[in-house]
Structure 1
Amino acid sequence: MLPGAQLWVHEPDVPGESTLSTAAIAAPILAEGEDSSGFHAPGIEEFFPAALFGSTDLGSFWGFDRIMLVRFIVVAILLLLLWLATRKSSLVPSRGQSIVELGVQFVRVQIGEQILGKERARPYLGMLTVIFFTVLAMNLAGVVPFLNIAGTSRVGLPLVLALWVFFVYLAAGVRKHGIGKYLKSQLFPPGIPWPAYILITPIEALQVFVLRPATLTIRLLANMMAGHLMLVLCFAATNFLLLEGGGLIKITGLLAFAGGIFITLFEVFVALLQAYIFTLLSAIYVNFALEEEH
């Protein structure tokens, strides 16, 4: 009998010792069998890249990573394009000026005036326009080569925009109705029996103060995260199947590449749609605050 062979037949005194011993022996074998060059599916770590400067740890005072760099680049490009398109405005607009004016008019007419009315929309058109162009530009960064990730795919920016909308519609309601009348109109819907307020009022409070900003944030964030993961999955699979696959397996790499192209085009549509939805809901929430009843 080889030395140490008794480990395999020894009855453990401690329950579970046999399982732990087997796992300890198998672990290095499994580790040796892992192929570090194999296919690695994308995960949540895609949205927490290593810091370029400082540290991104929760306990760190300051850190700067690739997603923050993408946000700065997008803002710079957006401001530059807007300046180039409008610096020589004329009655006969250039192509760039026409595109910008089309976007501004879309926000003003199709969102602001349609939801709030022509007069009531005027004070909020600036906010709605900034939100629309910012969300659209940050979303489109996810399909731009060398950027390859949306600035809205991490919670910070969507949350900041949602809180902006939150404080604006609270201020709008208080300014128009006064704090008491505003809270009454929002938390005590008219036309229902008073005992029902025991159930309805907490739900309305949750909706006004929590759910509206939360759903604005989560809807945008979840769509951008899902789109990025799908793109990375398709193109990572393309690279792996074409370079590592053999024989007919390489054909599936072409299918993965075609899927990546389709998802890229779909992500452009989603970027436009999410910018529209975020801006539309912002206008709706402001309108709720200004209405006597909702």
Structure 2
Amino acid sequence: MIALTLPAQDGGSFTPPSVETHLTPFFSIGGFEFTKQTLLVVLSVVIIAWFFLAAARKGKLVPGRLQYAGELGYNFVRNSVGQDVIGAKDYKKYVPLLFSLFFFILLNNLFGAIPLIQLPSFSHVSGPYFLALLVYVIWIGMGVRVNGLRYFKLAVVPSGVPWYILPLVVPIELISNFVVRPMTHSLRLFATMLAGHLIVMIAGSGIEFLLAQESILLKGTSLLVLGGAIAMYMLEALIMVLQAYVFVLLTAIYIEGAIHADTH
């Protein structure tokens, strides 16, 4: 927690509660900084790999708890996202990507709800930017692979639009599909993780600040702040799950739009 000292009306000083969002790196190699976020990303890969390898190690007709949990997670992404959005004909080849993205984002988001860790990895924008760029390259690449260079025309010229409206529609579609789409894909994840994280942290700092006051009334007010912080904590946990789902759902929608551009 950081402190900002301001002059008070009585001539003293007032230190409002605040939080530190830039963490000191554990070590640096050239321009690369190994921070807590980096450690959590590496840890998430290890945990996900261990869990699903362990779940699949002894496949049984009647699954145990671990195998059932692994199959449930896999089937959710495979059927509810891949098959339902991309279509039964083409979805299978994209399931590994969607599956990996979903659980990678989900676990890194849920780190923010785990006591002592309490830091969603994607509350720093570099991670969402990288994932959005990866998806951006994939869906454009698949669009070109399936439709050839004609894909770029299909992406910016909607079917059935009169020719005299095209000078207005084409620039809008170009900006929307190739500029706004990847930006919103990344910033949606980053902004929600950062905002939820900051709200809970500031509420916790506010409780600490109120408890340190001499006034009994202010100390009692900290209970109201605590109630609000618990509610926001539960809401943030829900948003963590939803944002992992939304990111992967949009990925599937973009891929489906790219490979089926000629039918839209």
**TM-score clears 0.5:** yes
Residue number among 40, 46, 60 corresponding to 1:70 in the alignment: 40
- Gap change, CA 1:76 and 1:245, over 3 Å in 2: farther
Residue number among 72, 92, 108 corresponding to 1:102 in the alignment: 72
Could you list the runs of 4 or more consecutive aligned residues of structure 1 that deviate by over 6 angstroms after TM superposition?
Answer: none
Give 3-state SS (helix, strand or coil) of 2:161's partner: coil
- Paired residue for 1:34? 13
Q: CA deviation at 1:83?
A: 2.7
Query: Using the alignment, how far apart are the partners of 1:165 and 1:73 within structure 2?
Result: 22
- Gap change, CA 1:245 and 1:109, over 3 Å in 2: farther
Aligned amino acid, residue 68 of structure 2: S
Q: CA deviation at 1:162?
A: 0.9
Query: Using the alignment, how far apart are the partners of 2:121 and 2:102 within structure 1?
Result: 14
- Paired residue for 1:166? 136
Tell me, yes or no, if structure 1 residue 283 matches structure 2 residue 256: no
Query: Using the alignment, how far apart are the partners of 1:293 and 1:203 within structure 2?
Result: 20
Q: How many aligned positions are there?
A: 257
Tell me, yes or no, if structure 1 residue 111 matches structure 2 residue 78: no
Deviations 1:77-96 (A, max 9, x none): 22222233332222221212
| Aligned 1:1-294 pairs, distance under 5 A | 30=7, 33-35=12-14, 38-42=15-19, 45-46=20-21, 48-54=22-28, 61-179=31-149, 181-291=150-260, 292-294=262-264
Give 3-state SS (helix, strand or coil) of 2:216's partner: coil
Give 3-state SS (helix, strand or coil) of 1:255's partner: helix
Aligned amino acid, residue 126 of structure 1: P
Query: Using the alignment, how far apart are the partners of 1:81 and 1:290 within structure 2?
Result: 32
Q: Quick check: 2:17–2:209 contact (8 Å CA) kept in 1?
A: no
Q: CA deviation at 1:147?
A: 1.3
Deviations 1:132-161 (A, max 9, x none): 101111110111112111011111111111
Give 3-state SS (helix, strand or coil) of 1:63's partner: strand
Query: Using the alignment, how far apart are the partners of 1:158 and 1:261 within structure 2?
Result: 27
Q: CA deviation at 1:248?
A: 2.1
Q: Judge which range, 185-194 or 224-233, deviates more.
A: 185-194
TM-score by length of 2: 0.90
Query: Using the alignment, how far apart are the partners of 1:118 and 1:281 within structure 2?
Result: 17
Unaligned regions of 5+ residues in structure 1, if any?
Answer: 1-27
Query: Which protein is bigger by CA-based radius of gyration?
Result: 1
- Gap change, CA 1:33 and 1:103, over 3 Å in 2: same
Aligned amino acid, residue 228 of structure 1: H
Identity of aligned residues (%): 35
Give 3-state SS (helix, strand or coil) of 1:54's partner: strand
Deviations 1:34-93 (A, max 9, x none): 35xx44223xx41x21222128xxxx6221222222222222222222233332222221
Query: Using the alignment, how far apart are the partners of 2:213 and 2:67 within structure 1?
Result: 48
